[in-house]
A and B are shown apart, each in its own frame.
Chain A
Amino acid sequence: MIFVNAFIVGGIICVIGQVLLDVGKLTPAHTLSTLVVSGAVLDGIGLYEPLIDFAGAGATVPITSFGNALVHGAITEAEQNGWVGILTGIFEVTSAGISSAIIFSFIAALLFKPKG
């Protein structure tokens, strides 16, 4: 079922990240940046959406989907509004993610104390 697909595909993407960290000896920032760009490239080729169709959250939860969403939003806006759509559409889909990360992080800083 979709839960099995989500588990496996999500797991595989994380393993790719782990290999970049351990074997490639990249920093977490480098690793995540690589994954995001990969997601963007895959959507450019049109391969990421089918992966989402197959694996559901297994493809939308990893950070690669962030790259996919950026490209997707840009393409959708560009299709409707021409070249300027690239700029107006980039953050369209990812708006929920970025906004909530900023807002909740700020609230967390208001409420929680650093530990250790």
Chain B
Amino acid sequence: MNMKKSFIFLFIFLLLNLGGCDTGQKTFEAQSADDASEISQKVAEDAEKTVKELDRVDDATAVSNKKDVYVHLDVRGFDRFFLKDIRKEAKDKLEAENPDGTVEVSTDKKIELELTELKQKLSDQEITRKQLEDDLKKVDKDLKAGV
């Protein structure tokens, strides 16, 4: 009798726990899926569009986190003599359109590589917001490094 009760008890116990695990699993998945897919890059996309309107900018790559955006400008040819000017022009224009967040502009090749990689991860939804923040901190550090 005791054995049977124990068995039933164990059975119910397992049933409840596995059922519980299942629910827990679903919630956990939903959270991380939401996290990865909801990192909206609207601010970045707008920034890219804005900046590409500039005459001297040939291409742009941008990644955003909430309202902060990091933009790389691709400038080719003789326009490259005026990179400092172009960076200022782009930054002013972006800050006018995005007064709530920080804007960082770069023409450094390394930043382009880092932002392109981040963009890829974001579109593949392989990155969490925390990872994005950490990676952008690195981008920020690289942007401000050097003499």
Cβ distance A80 to chain B, nearest Cβ, rounded Å = 11
Cβ distance B68 to chain A, nearest Cβ, rounded Å = 26
Q: List B contacts of A92 (CB < 8 A).
A: 147
Does the CB pair A51–B81 fall under 8 Å? yes
Does the CB pair B80–A54 fall under 8 Å? yes
Does the CB pair A49–B80 fall under 8 Å? no
Does the CB pair B80–A53 fall under 8 Å? yes
* Residues of chain B at interface, number, CB under 8 A: 8
Does the CB pair A54–B84 fall under 8 Å? no
Closest to A53 in B: B83
How distant is the Cα of A5 from the Cα of B77 in the complex, in angstroms? 9
Q: List B contacts of A54 (CB < 8 A).
A: 78, 80-81
How distant is the Cα of A101 from the Cα of B140 in the complex, in angstroms? 33
Cβ distance B88 to chain A, nearest Cβ, rounded Å = 13
Does the CB pair A50–B147 fall under 8 Å? no
How distant is the Cα of A46 from the Cα of B135 in the complex, in angstroms? 34
Q: List B contacts of A67 (CB < 8 A).
A: none
How distant is the Cα of A72 from the Cα of B146 in the complex, in angstroms? 12
Q: Does A39 contact B (CB under 8 A)?
A: no
Q: List B contacts of A72 (CB < 8 A).
A: 147
Cβ distance A67 to chain B, nearest Cβ, rounded Å = 15
Closest to B109 in A: A2
Contact bitstring A9-45, B, C-beta under 8 A = 1, else 0: 0000000000000000000000000000000000000
Cβ distance A94 to chain B, nearest Cβ, rounded Å = 11
Q: List A contacts of B107 (CB < 8 A).
A: 53
How distant is the Cα of A53 from the Cα of B81 in the complex, in angstroms? 6
Where the two chains meet, the residues of A that have a C-beta atom closer than 8 Å to any C-beta of B are 5, 49-51, 53-54, 72-73, 76, 92-93
Where the two chains meet, the residues of B that have a C-beta atom closer than 8 Å to any C-beta of A are 78, 80-84, 107, 147
If A54-B80, A72-B147, A92-B147 are given as contacts, then 6 extra A-B residue pairs at C-beta distance below 8 Å, sorted by A number, are A49-B84, A50-B80, A50-B82, A53-B83, A53-B107, A54-B78
